[in-house]
Amino acid sequence: MRSMQRKMWAGTVAVALLLGGFGGLTTPQAYADEDEDTTVIAPAPADTSIPLNKRFHLDWSQVEGNASNILGMDWIDLNDALTSGKSIAEVAASKGVSGEGLVSQLVQLEASQVNEALQANKITQDEADRLNKQITDKITKIVNKEGYQYKAKEAGQHNKSLQLTFKPKAAELAELLKLDKEQVKQQLAEGKSVADIAAAQGITEDELITKLTEQIKPALKSWIHQTEQQTKK
| Predicted confidence pLDDT, tens digits, the chain (233 residues) | 445 444 444 444 444 434 444 444 444 454 455 555 556 566 678 888 888 888 888 888 889 889 999 999 888 889 889 988 999 999 999 999 999 999 999 999 999 989 999 999 999 999 999 999 999 999 999 999 998 887 644 444 444 444 445 566 677 788 888 888 888 888 877 788 888 888 888 988 888 888 887 777 776 777 677 665 554 44
Extents of the domains making up the chain? 1-26, 56-155, 170-226
pLDDT, position 165: 52
d(CA 54, CA 153): 15
Give the closest residue to 166 by CA, choosing from 209, 123, 131: 209
d(CA 137, CA 72): 24
Measured between alpha carbons, how far is residue 1 from residues 7, 58, 75 in Å?
10, 85, 93
pTM of full prediction above 0.75: no
Q: Count Cβ atoms within 10 A of the Cβ of residue 5 and give its class: 0-12 exposed, 13-18 middle, 19 or more buried.
A: exposed
pLDDT, position 8: 46
pLDDT, position 70: 93
- Cβ atoms of 143 and 91 within 8 Å: the answer is no
pLDDT, position 36: 57
- Cβ atoms of 177 and 198 within 8 Å: the answer is yes
Measured between alpha carbons, how far is residue 108 from residues 127, 183, 213, 228 in Å?
17, 33, 41, 36
d(CA 171, CA 180): 7
Give the closest residue to 169 by CA, choosing from 68, 83, 107: 83
